[in-house]
Amino acid sequence: MQFTKMHGTGNDFVMVDARALDADWETLARAICDRHFGVGSDGLIVALPAPEADLRMRMFNPDGSEAEMCGNGIRCLAKYAVERGIATPTDGAIAVDTLAGRLRCQVFGANGTVERVRVSMGRPRLAPDEIPVLAESSGPLLDLPVRVEGGDFRVTCVSMGNPHAVHFTDEPVGAIDLEHVGPRVEHHPAFPRRVNFEVANVLGRDRLRMRVWERGAGLTLACGTGACATAVAARLRGLVDDVVDVELPGGTVRIEWDGAGEVYLSGPAETVFEGRWLR
């Protein structure tokens, strides 16, 4: 099976053209994402045909669980599909079906090479039952208390097709022991489908710094939906304006949200290498 290793701001993926393939993707993800015995990545992304879109994306975490969406992953998929002729842009964009809905990916580049992708990520979901989070409120949840071993957090809850809990702090995000508290927040009983946990510093009206513990993946260098959720949470709290650059350990992405409509995520996508999986 041929594969391509890619990354978006350090969030890395194994990409597979599965239009003519079938496999036990959950088992394959656990094997191929392993950083010691496999290729090593934050997820397996499978490109599939779609009846009414240019293609369909399935994304599997290293633990084999399937994610509804992945912002950095869909940027990589857009580059992968366009450069290999799997999808042809119409008016500079392709449509991708995901478990979070159909998303539009604008591609930018020259001579058949995609250098940057801007994704329409859809409207954020703020009602507790849509995230989901167990809370006696109609939402938005801006200050939900979450107590775990190692820390007490006040989180803002947002779904970008997948669930996020965002904690704003004056403490440098690098000083928070995410490796310890991250899995405990992920599995907190308030989140029936687990949750992605972000910690963030506000650097200005147009800039945030963020680290993330991803549901099913653990510590990663970046998370596109997490960056979107963090920018939305900051905007809801009146901390930032409509356009925000989010600094992540693996690089910077730009988030646009006017407080009412769709969220837009822009950033690079890079090919690392290609190979063949023999197992």
Q: Per residue of the chain (279 residues), what is the pLDDT tens digit?
A: 999 999 999 999 999 999 999 999 999 999 999 999 999 999 999 999 999 999 999 999 999 999 999 999 999 999 999 999 999 999 999 999 999 999 999 999 988 899 999 999 999 999 999 999 999 888 899 999 999 999 999 999 999 999 999 999 999 999 999 999 999 999 999 999 999 999 999 999 999 999 999 999 999 999 999 999 999 999 999 999 999 999 999 999 999 999 999 999 999 999 999 999 997
Q: Which of 33, 105, 157, 223 is catalytic?
A: 223
- Residue spans in the chain of domains classed CATH 3.10.310.10: 2-122+267-274, 128-256
Q: What is the CATH number of domain 128-256?
A: 3.10.310.10
Q: Tell me the two tokens of residue 271.
A: 């090919």
Please indicate whether residue 228 is annotated as part of the active site.
no
Please indicate whether residue 157 is annotated as part of the active site.
no
Q: Which fold has domain 2-122+267-274?
A: Diaminopimelate Epimerase; Chain A, domain 1 (3.10.310)
Q: Which of 33, 70, 105, 228 is catalytic?
A: 70
